[in-house]
Structure 1
């Protein structure tokens, strides 16, 4: 019946009818629900490579969620991390990192090198992190490599790391020498009032996961995405 009416309609009526159909098609297309993620993009793969500050950190799920929302893309974070370990151990784990074929590698490996009882000298730590960065860059040339400084230490955990600042500086220098990225989370931690900081890191080394997510994740999202998505 509609087709018959269009057949009998004048040219002006036909053009109006076709215009109305086109308008309705556009309206339906624009109002269709979106998936929330960029189409045809594989997940952004991140490897967090480090010590207990990563293994026990608890900030990775929040990074997946917030960075994914910012980029409108699925984000997956895998850990290659172990409590109490040093750069000596990390040198034996490079195959595991490479096997993940990450787009981004987040690295924090200075904390236990800096403890007095592990006897990893500053020069050895610097040599090790340089070798780690070189191997990762050679085997994963497209990956973004981001070296990180995490939270401050206090109490006994701070006393056994009297030269931790030098270890951080050495790791930062090795990253910068290779044109790699460095993110320092300590200033954001140190903005907390002293009582809040103590409560957030009750053992002097390992932040509570919920607080770690609030401090670490926004900085990483901003750094990785290149914009502030916190609003």
Structure 2
């Protein structure tokens, strides 16, 4: 079974308002052996929604090699954006099925929309998809309640039930498949508020477990699979993080609470403790040091004279500024925390927040601030947002007719140098954008691995549904120069800082 994100296996039964339906066109085509492209299009509930990955995992397990699921969601976006970006985010993917959900953000007051505007936008998207491919299956979805933000708040939603009812109306009129999540979430909210908050902490964005329990089984059942019994949604090894075990709440009194075991978190905690404050550092996982102790040991220096304070103390005690051992970095961080008298609590996953003084958010993603209802943006702001001359995209500087492969002439086409053969997997046909233009993208997340060729090495399994063709572009890069011999400690200036970094 294809693993997603976490190490637990959730057995979920579809016992919701959406009952198992006849097979969808998507599933019928897959059972006939036809390859299918599925595009998920919507708000942050799609862009960052675990349901997309979970659905993809199940479909790829049931129909290996036949399904490509594309997540084209946009965080913080509404249907007006959906219409404007439909061509490059949906139509150019040549989809056989499209999931659409924008209603939860169409109701956000700051967009100054209405149910009528949202309906017109939705019908425009549906019409354009059908014109491009009359056989494309369109699935509409209602989502979560989104009712935790008061009037006047950046994310306050108005008339959300009317927007959801509009989706139901459009689905009926167009004979479209509707997956109506909203009643299920409302029923849970009324029945068990504590469980609801566990599954969807801000009443808008479901957690990984919330999707696996409340959304993915409903989607699979509506598509016509999983009706024979419990649906297994794997969220297992290899893992991003392991869920914390159930434990009794404990009170920790302190002057300063730092959330995030990153280098910034360690630094803030050590300095606060050295100033005589009783300090607690809470780390999301079982480590401290963030990227510095997690594999990113090639420090970007810039001007070496700009490094000072605790950072310079750390590098001085470590004995070097770059290319150091990850384990040595974490050991030193732990020693500095112990010397300063900081209490370190590991595997602390944020559940809820009661605002207090002297709390520091040192997470990479700003989890604590988001829990505190601090407004935020996802992606790069356009240059016009705050009149920042260096804001937005920089394509004229960073994309000067070369690929990000160390300026090597690596062909992006299936048949090298033949555009008619099409592009290799994972290469986007979207335009990069104009200089200064904003976007809703985040920097790619990836894993840095410590590999070994020693006898005691631990093998990692081949993932279910693994398709080596997805990595043809990387293979071409690695094999570009037949004279290069790749080794675990390979590092050559021309290639060590490109898409592949291999260091001791």
2:178 pairs, out of 176, 182, 191, with 182
Query: Corresponding residue for 1:164?
Result: 160
Contact 1:107/1:146 (CA < 8 Å) preserved in 2? yes
- Partners in 2 of 1:179 and 1:110 — Cα distance? 19
Q: Secondary structure at the match of 2:84?
A: coil
Matched, 1:126 2:125: no
Task: Report which stretch shifted further, 61-70 or 196-205.
Answer: 61-70
Query: Corresponding residue for 2:50?
Result: 58
Q: Relative to 1, partners in 2 of residues 1:199 and 1:148: Cα closer, same or farther, differing over 3 Å?
A: same
- Partners in 2 of 1:70 and 1:223 — Cα distance? 16
1:98 pairs, out of 58, 74, 91, with 91
Contact 2:95/2:136 (CA < 8 Å) preserved in 1? yes
Cα distance, 1:124 vs. partner? Answer: 1.0
Query: Corresponding residue for 1:78?
Result: 70
TM score, norm. by length of structure 2: 0.36
- Partners in 1 of 2:84 and 2:172 — Cα distance? 23
**Residue deviations 1:48-84 (CA, integer Å, cap 9, x gap):** 0000110111222210122344456643210111111
TM score, norm. by length of structure 1: 0.75
Task: Report which stretch shifted further, 188-197 or 83-92.
Answer: 188-197
Matched, 1:115 2:108: yes
Cα distance, 1:229 vs. partner? Answer: 4.6
1:141 pairs, out of 118, 134, 137, with 134
RMSD: 2.4
Cα distance, 1:113 vs. partner? Answer: 1.2
Cα distance, 1:40 vs. partner? Answer: 8.6
Q: Secondary structure at the match of 1:146?
A: strand
Higher share of residues assigned helix: 1
- Partners in 1 of 2:31 and 2:117 — Cα distance? 46
**Residue deviations 1:128-179 (CA, integer Å, cap 9, x gap):** 1111111111212111100000122231179821300101111221222122
- Partners in 1 of 2:70 and 2:45 — Cα distance? 14
Q: Which structure 1 residue ranges, 5 or more long, are not aligned?
A: 1-37
Q: Which has the higher contact order (CA 8 A, sep 6+)?
A: 1
The number of aligned residues is 194
Query: Corresponding residue for 1:151?
Result: 144
Query: Corresponding residue for 1:225?
Result: 224
**Residue deviations 1:157-212 (CA, integer Å, cap 9, x gap):** 79821300101111221222122121101233344321100121112211112321
